């Protein structure tokens, strides 16, 4: 009887040991995130990885696999250090500057037909700047019709046969506005100088390819590299320039490539210090969300608010940012 009972226990132990080996291998693989798309994917899924590792630790404790548990627990703590940006004291205290800029940004999903929800969210947010990703020609026309009187300055390039249309509308005058392409003609980005009453802010909006597969991984990284170079060139010409980058970067703060991009551009993230706030959901529940939609800004600016809105028919959530220019500059 004891032999019969031992077999299921032995089988479960092997399964739990195999699970522990799998999560440990995934954890170690994140060290290669800069070089291999699979490792980068795991690094971007670090929240989900940690949840899986915690579940594995629970199973190991039930099976009394203490040595393996200790190893997995150590790797879990190491993985958690990559999440420190979510809880570090960020730039979240309100600034006293009188010059503020509210930005509404949304990846609306090209095939999304809930245009009334998108427009309602924009009206409720009352932004100075509207940045729309995956912009279709139909939604472009709707936004023009609804906001031409309040946001008369705009630049856009819509797409109906892809997911990379893009548009920016502004309450304030735009100068040097243009659509530009980095490493693919199907991926438009936008830049413009927003002429506020007391200063000028250079704004860019972009949307690189999702890094699934070797080709797209290299393509996204090249896109970000060229974008960083473009921003550095602007900084060299005008060192005191205030800059904002908006976009679905198909990259989370948990990937080392995100830190590389911040270092390369000198920008800081509006999400830092605000906890885990996903903006894209594969399924509508927290464990399945990723923080892909970003507002990055130069260090002579401040982010007073980053608010994620409710679903509007897209797999992404719209985000509202309140930026201000530091008075010391």
pTM value is 0.90
C-alpha neighbours within 13 Å on the C-beta side of residue 55: 10
pLDDT in tens, 253-284: 999 999 999 999 999 999 998 888 899 997 76
- Please tell me whether residues 273 and 234 are part of one structural domain: yes
pLDDT in tens, 88-147: 655 555 556 668 999 999 999 999 999 999 999 999 999 999 999 999 999 999 999 999
- pLDDT the model gives residue 288: 75
Asked whether residue 25 is domain-assigned, the answer is yes
List the strands of the sheet with 153-157, edge to edge. Answer: 153-157, 166-170, 129-133, 100-107, 319-325, 301-308
CA distance 53 to 20: 8
- Please tell me whether residues 240 and 110 are part of one structural domain: yes
Above 80 in pLDDT, residue 6? no
Above 80 in pLDDT, residue 287? no
The mean pLDDT value for 205-230 works out to: 97
- Please tell me whether residues 71 and 112 are part of one structural domain: no
CA distance 192 to 190: 7
- Please tell me whether residues 70 and 129 are part of one structural domain: no
Number of domains in the chain: 2
- pLDDT the model gives residue 275: 83
- pLDDT the model gives residue 326: 78
Q: Tokens representing 313?
A: 């028919």
Q: Work out the percent of the chain whose per-residue pLDDT is above 70.
A: 91
- pLDDT the model gives residue 99: 80
CA distance 240 to 250: 29
- Please tell me whether residues 78 and 109 are part of one structural domain: no
- Please tell me whether residues 281 and 156 are part of one structural domain: yes
Closest CA to 278 of 293, 264, 263: 293
CA distance 18 to 10: 12
The mean pLDDT value for 168-174 works out to: 97
Asked whether residue 94 is domain-assigned, the answer is no
């Amino acid at each position: 009887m004891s032999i019969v009972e031992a077999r299921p226990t032995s089988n479960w132990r092997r399964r739990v040991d195999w699970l522990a080996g799998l999560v440990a291998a995934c954890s170690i693989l994140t060290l290669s995130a800069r070089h291999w798309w699979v490792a980068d994917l795991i690094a971007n899924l670090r929240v989900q990885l940690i949840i899986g590792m915690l579940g594995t630790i629970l199973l190991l404790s039930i099976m009394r696999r203490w040595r393996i548990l200790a190893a997995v627990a150590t790797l879990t703590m190491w993985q958690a250090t990559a999440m420190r940006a979510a809880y570090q004291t960020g730039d979240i205290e309100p600034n006293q500057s009188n010059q503020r800029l509210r930005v509404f940004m949304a990846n609306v999903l090209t095939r999304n037909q809930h245009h009334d929800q998108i427009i309602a969210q924009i009206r409720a947010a009352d932004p100075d700047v509207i940045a729309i990703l995956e912009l279709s020609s139909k939604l472009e026309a709707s936004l023009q019709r609804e906001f031409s009187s309040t946001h008369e300055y705009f630049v856009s390039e819509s797409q109906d046969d892809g997911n990379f249309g893009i548009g920016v509308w502004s309450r304030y005058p735009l100068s040097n506005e243009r659509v530009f392409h980095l490493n693919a003609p199907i991926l438009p980005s936008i830049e413009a100088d927003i002429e506020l009453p007391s200063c000028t802010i250079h704004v860019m909006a972009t949307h690189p390819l999702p890094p699934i597969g070797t080709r797209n991984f290299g393509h996204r990284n090249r896109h970000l590299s060229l974008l960083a170079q473009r921003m550095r060139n602007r900084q060299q010409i005008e060192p005191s320039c205030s800059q904002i980058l908006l976009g679905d970067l198909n990259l989370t703060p948990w990937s080392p490539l995100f830190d590389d991009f911040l270092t390369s551009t000198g920008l800081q993230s509006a999400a830092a210090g605000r906890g885990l706030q996903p903006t894209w959901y594969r399924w509508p529940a927290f464990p399945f969300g990723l923080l892909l939609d970003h507002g990055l800004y130069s260090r002579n600016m401040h982010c007073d608010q980053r608010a994620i809105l409710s679903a509007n028919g897209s797999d992404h959530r719209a985000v509202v940012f309140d930026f201000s220019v530091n008075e010391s500059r």
